[in-house]
Structure 1
């Protein structure tokens, strides 16, 4: 038995070494750097919790945090609802539906930088596609990126445009729903709304749960398009953009690392809340059957 255990440890040793070298040690180093004042060139100067105290006195930090939270509060539900709607629309067997599915999913496989440059042109006040279309109806032009009140709606348009990326998981969930549940609902005289409410939506809650967690993480870590597109009055300066600026523009690596730990705690707290609440709203097939019978 001891020889078998030694053989097993020998096989997993590369993973254990990689885990410590590339995960545990960097995390420990990052925790230490967050307690120092370091410009990446000179020796780190230990300041304790000074970086964390300074963070919550920094108006730019609070502004970036608020911009990110406000974006997440709207974009996550919007992205989930839009992706689910698209999945329902393409969950048919009509001719050419695979072409539509592919077209809707394409934004998920295109480079984020390319998408950002594309939308920067689309949202341009003078030469942007949106203002050109609106001008045909005598509307605009609007400063999508120069008017602080329109910066958030501009980023939400990008979220809706890229909702096809989340469509795939919902489509897989829709096609996995047992057909006999819908047949039983038809026999009982249930209409489309009742079938969606009592069968489709409950069965899809595990998929919604997954996309909710990933959406929260993605919204809080928003960077590439925000860094390229920007926005007036720092309305496009998301948390990760400000972190990047502190680390690689101002060379305040200790301060930026402290920001990273604050972001980690926020994401962890939000994720734990979602996980703890999942027992109240995430259902599985056996529970859905009971729920659908009660709802009729």
Structure 2
């Protein structure tokens, strides 16, 4: 199954790319949004597509070459440094910036870095595995205290069983290191019962991924960087996938409006249509918010 870009039509409608414009896709991923935007900014326009994962970016580079997209510039980096990345690539002040904060289907199916509990993989969870300064999920799981683990699960996963899970992890560590997703998922399922459709380990895996990659700080820095890089009148569009990151974006946009940096264009958040939910069930939690700078 290929990665399907979420809220694609809604994004195109919101940022309204035009021939000759320069637009940043801060989260290139599988390239769906970048390609659609690239088609619409021809002739004369360009897309700067940024991704933190060099391996996924390499695959996208090959795909773009095969399909003849010559107006997409690829850049490896963390979007928190968006302004610096644009400057290094001599990219003009953008007319729009897009952030799609969902991790791609590629990371679940092919990265083999522990993003999913559906396979038994090493507990890495770094988007950039070349970054030796960033701790892996395995290091956090095996070195953090019970209290620290419970705090991570509560803050980044809103996990109601945080303490019970943290205690189970600490108890298991007395016998052996926790190295794989299979081990961790099994520990969790023994102390937390399934409620509804979600797997008992879902929130723990989310919390660890966010902690490993410092995702919330990246969002805050990335939006500020986009604001500084963009031209007057530019639109900044953000797709979120859970309430915690959506709250961050909503509050930043509200504060920008209060400080007269521009206006929120999405008084009511944009969600997938019924048709999209049927064709792509993974889109069910997606929300799009858009801000226009003065």
TM-score range, shorter chain: under 0.3
Which protein is richer in strand relative to its size?
2
Which protein is richer in helix relative to its size?
1
When normalised by structure 2's length, the TM-score is 0.27
When normalised by structure 1's length, the TM-score is 0.27
Q: Could you say which structure has the larger radius of gyration? A: 1
